[in-house]
Amino acid sequence: MLNINNWLQSNTCHHSQFRDLLRLVKEKERQGITISLCIPTLNEEATIGKEVVLFKSELQDRYPLLDEIAVVDSGSTDRTREVAASFGADVYLASNILADMGFKRGKGENLWKAIYQLTGDIIVYVDADIKNIHPRFVYGLVAPLIYRSEVKYVKAFYDRPLTLSNKIRPSGGGRVTEILVRPLFSLFFPELTAIIQPLSGEYAVRREVLEKLPFPVGYGVETSHLIDVYSSFGLEAFAQTDMDQRVHRHQTTRDLGKMSFGILRTFLKRLKMKGMSSDLPDFTANLRQFQAHDEQYEQVIHEIFEEERPPMIELEAYRKRFDKKI
């Protein structure tokens, strides 16, 4: 097993290491690399405009690091798409991309379809709800890929103060990681515990890697990526960048339960696929929670399916669009 302490020293970065954007752009251009930013959205009109404005002004107009900025939307009922387009983003409805494949609601669906729609050699994903958005959330992720050819997948990590009633708690966040994902990784994939925030929504990946990954359409997409990339390339393929702090909205414990359920289903499926546990049964898609009405208790059943899209490289339409072969 790789020495995790050595990996942390060599493959953990701080965004400030890459603040020389002119140097970064020159190296990108020297290598002939193209970079696409994907922002997956669903009803994010309050924050999407600020993100698009900042990334376009700083990382396209001032420093041409990004070749395209795209919003891939799940079908927002607010003005997310209109706001994003008005500030200069390319805006796509996920349901219109590879329309013959149908549409499945979930963030992973947007991320998967972005591989087909966007053209960059590197795709960087950034969540749409970051209140303290800053160019570091992009350049801090793509820089290790530009400067180090052996790195294939870069994750962000950060302190995550929680916004509650317009106040910011000094610490918190990462609850599903610490309660569920890190214990599972400790048991089955101990090297992956070196990834400080495996569920962070900000990461950059080489197309040649993304196109070969199956994509859960729901909560399990980040966990599945780490397991699949690790299984193919080892921990050496990863790097991670400290972004200092990320301010975002708080999720309820009930919603975190749904997320945990989806992640656990995906994780157990990976164990079966990799022959690490052959006698696991087929699992229900029903998560059972409870709510109280006065002195009456009601069971609420949520159906949470972790369907998966196939690796993009398996689609003929994708291979034709990018002149690829299996």
The percentage of residues in the chain with a pLDDT greater than 70, rounded to a whole number, is: 94
pLDDT of residue 160: 57
| 164 φ/ψ angles, rounded to the nearest 5 degrees | -135, 120
pLDDT band at 2 (very low <50, low <70, confident <90, very high): low
pTM of full prediction above 0.85: yes
Instruction: Please provide the DSSP assignment of 216-267 as one string.
Output: ESSTTHHHHHHHHHHHHH-GGGEEEEEEEE--EEPPPHHHHHHHHHHHHHHH
pLDDT band at 168 (very low <50, low <70, confident <90, very high): very low
Average pLDDT over residues 165-188: 74
pLDDT of residue 206: 98
Residue 99 CB-density burial (10 A; 0-12 exposed, 13-18 middle, 19+ buried): exposed
Is the pLDDT at 153 greater than 50? The verdict is yes
CB 244, CB 158: distance < 8 Å:
yes
pLDDT of residue 190: 95
pLDDT of residue 304: 76
Q: What is the pLDDT of the chain when averaged over all its residues? A: 91
Q: Show the domains of the chain with their CATH numbers.
A: 4-260+309-322 (3.90.550.10)
| 192 φ/ψ angles, rounded to the nearest 5 degrees | -70, -10
Give me the sign of the Cα torsion angle 97, 212, 146, 17.
Answer: positive
Is the pLDDT at 306 greater than 90? The verdict is no
Q: Which residue has the tokens 């009930």?
A: 254
Between 2-6, 76-80, 272-276, 319-323, the lowest mean confidence (pLDDT) is in 2-6
Collapsed DSSP state (helix, strand, coil) of residue 274: coil
pLDDT of residue 98: 98
CB 59, CB 139: distance < 8 Å:
yes
pLDDT band at 238 (very low <50, low <70, confident <90, very high): very high
Burial 61-73 (b: 16+ CB within 10 A, else e): eebebbbbbbbbb
The amino acid at residue 260 is: S
Could you tell me where the DSSP H helices lie in the chain?
A: 4-11, 21-31, 45-56, 80-86, 107-117, 136-147, 175-176, 182-188, 207-210, 221-233, 253-273, 316-322
Token output for 99: 């329309």
pLDDT digit string, tens, across residues 191-204 = 999 999 999 999 99
pLDDT band at 308 (very low <50, low <70, confident <90, very high): very high
